Homo-oligomer: A and B are copies of this chain.
Amino acid sequence: LKNPIITLTTDFGNRDSYIAQMKGVILQHCPGASVVDLSHEIAPQNLMETALFTEAALPWFPPGSIHIIVVDPGVGTTRRPIAALAGKQLLLFPDNGLLTLFFKRSPIEKAVVIGKCPFIPDRISCTFHGRDIFAPTAAWLALGNVLESLGPQAEDLAVLPIAEPSFKPDGQIEGVVIHVDRFGNCITNLRDQDLPGNAMVHTDVSADLLPIRKTYADVHEGEILALLGSSGRLELALRNGNLASKFGIGSGHRIVVAPQ
């Protein structure tokens, strides 16, 4: 590997030195690494946002890319640090379910608990496994070492509870909101490929059936719309408004899609 790619996705922000420390550790052990910031602005400790982010972003990377994902409310507890291979990507993350959606698309081929790794220091911070465990492990893998060198196989990885769409005999598909983003858009568990052609969306916040739009600009300001986001999930939104707060919608809210 000439310039191995190591990406970083965290909720650390860019004001503190956390990310800088992680980059230092990676480059110390693997000076040729190409370190790529994906985001450090994940909403603090928000595992579902992390799951949606990684589902959307990681599939685009070349095989063999190494991804560190640290959104880690359980740091310092017994939750396990994991290294896994899925969809030809190498993934380093705390075992808290943050890759649940990515793994639905790209099943895990191999996963180990990160135990020993020559680059992990003897003394490990209780609160900063990004620097002391995940960064050195990424450098170790970037140098061509295999997952098996890190520790025993990991069983029973944590998963976020995400309802599956329900396909009815009459052609209706029932879904639920799984995330409300910071604009109040409501992202559902229904994906592009789940939907029939000419699908219409039934929701209790609109008397009308909603066609699936291509872009916000397809409706007027203040109007409710259903659209497929660029990552292929059905979303409900209010053009230039906050749908979730206006109608009190949260995760679990039910919507139904039916062929026209």
Contacts and interface: CB of A to CB of B under 8 A. Distances in A.
A117 B34 CA distance: 26
Interface in A101-152: 125-128, 131
Residue among A13, A18, A21 with most chain B CB within 10 A: A21
Interface in A71-119: 75-76
Contact of A76 (B5, B21, B215): B215
A17 B3 contact: no
Nearest to A25: B60
Nearest to A32: B3
A4 to B, nearest CB: 9
Contact of A61 (B2, B18, B24, B61): B24
B230 A28 contact: no
Contacts of A24: 57-62, 65
21 contacts: A3-B31, A13-B41, A15-B41, A15-B42, A17-B57, A19-B38, A20-B39, A21-B56, A23-B38, A23-B60, A24-B57, A24-B58, A24-B60, A25-B60, A27-B36, A27-B65, A31-B62, A60-B131, A75-B215, A76-B214, A127-B215
Contact of A14 (B27, B36, B41, B58): B41
Interface of A: 2-3, 5, 7, 9, 13-21, 23-25, 27-28, 31-32, 34-43, 52-54, 56-62, 65, 75-76, 125-128, 131, 182, 214-215, 217, 230-231
Contact of A17 (B40, B53, B62): B53
A91 to B, nearest CB: 14
A182 B57 CA distance: 31
A126 B218 CA distance: 12
Contacts of A13: 41
Contacts of A62: 24, 27-28, 31
Contacts of A42: 15
Given A13-B41, A19-B39, A76-B214, 17 more contacts: A5-B27, A7-B23, A9-B20, A14-B37, A15-B42, A15-B43, A24-B60, A24-B61, A27-B34, A28-B60, A35-B36, A75-B215, A76-B215, A127-B214, A127-B230, A128-B230, A131-B230
